[in-house]
Structure 1
Amino acid sequence: MAWWRRRRGHASASAGSDLSSARAHLAEFVASRRGVEAYVEPATNVTSTTVVLIAHDGEWTRRALPSRPVAFDVARGLDVPVYDVNLTGYPARMREWTARQRRPRER
C-alpha cells in the first residue's frame, strides 16, 4: 500500500506543472491562429479529460487536463467559444485537415 501512496503523491506533485504546460501550449495555439474554438472531450478508461482547440482551417491540438470543470475553465480563460464534444461533435474542418495531413506529399 505504501507504494501506491508514494506514487499518487508523486503524480499529484507533477500535476501542477502539467497543467501549467498545457495552459501555455493552448494559449500559444490561440494566439498564433485565428478562428479558434475549444471542444472539451470526456475522460475515458484510457485517457483523461482533454481540450481540443481547432483553428479556422481545421488545424488542431489536444491537451489533457485534470478534470472536466478545469477543462471548461481553461478553455473559457482562453476567450474562445467552448463546446462539449458529446453535444456538438467535431467540426468537419478538423477531419478534413487531418485527412490532408495523412495524404502522401506530391512532388
Structure 2
Amino acid sequence: MGLFSWKPRSKRATAPQSGGRDAKAETIAHLRSFVSAHTGCEAFIEPPTRVTQTTMVIVADTGEWTRRRVPDEATARRLAQQFSIPAFDVNLSGYPSRMREWNEQQRKNLG
C-alpha cells in the first residue's frame, strides 16, 4: 500500500486521476523542502474535523511553520519518520510557543 493510498468511495472515483498523484507528490516535495531548509523541525498532527481532513504542521526551531493535508495520522507519522523528525499529536502536546511567537512577529511586521 502506498503512502497516500485510499479506497474509492464510489465507482466514479475509481478512474485514475493524475491531478491527485501530482498533488501528493507536491505535498511531499513541499514538506521535504521545508524540513531540509529549516533546522529543528517537528511535526504536529492535527486530527480531522467536520470541515477539514487530517493535517500535518511542521514547525522549525525559529517558529516558522507550514501546514499540509494528509490522508490520515499514520501517513503523517510515516512522513515524519522519513524526514527524521519527531511527530506529536497536537491534541496532546499543543503547539510550541515558538510558533505562536513567530505568528505574532509576522502580524507586527505586516501592520
Scaled by the length of structure 2, what TM-score is found?
A: 0.81
Instruction: Structure 1 unaligned segments of length 5 or more: list them.
Output: none
* Percent identity of paired positions between Structure 1 and Structure 2: 42
User: 1:100 corresponds to which residue?
Assistant: 105
TM-aligned CA distance change 1:15 to 1:69, over 3 Å: farther
SS in 2 for 1:43: coil
User: 1:17 corresponds to which residue?
Assistant: 22
Determine whether 1:28 maps to 2:33: yes
Match of 1:71 among 63, 76, 79: 76
Instruction: Structure 2 unaligned segments of length 5 or more: list them.
Output: 1-9
SS in 1 for 2:31: helix
Q: How many residues in Structure 1 have an aligned counterpart in Structure 2?
A: 101
Cα distance in 2 for partners of 1:103, 1:78 equals: 32
Q: Which has the higher helix share?
A: 1
Cα distance in 2 for partners of 1:15, 1:86 equals: 29
Match of 1:39 among 37, 44, 57: 44
Partner amino acid, structure 1, of 2:80:
A
Moved over 4 A (4+): none
Determine whether 1:86 maps to 2:81: no
Scaled by the length of structure 1, what TM-score is found?
A: 0.84
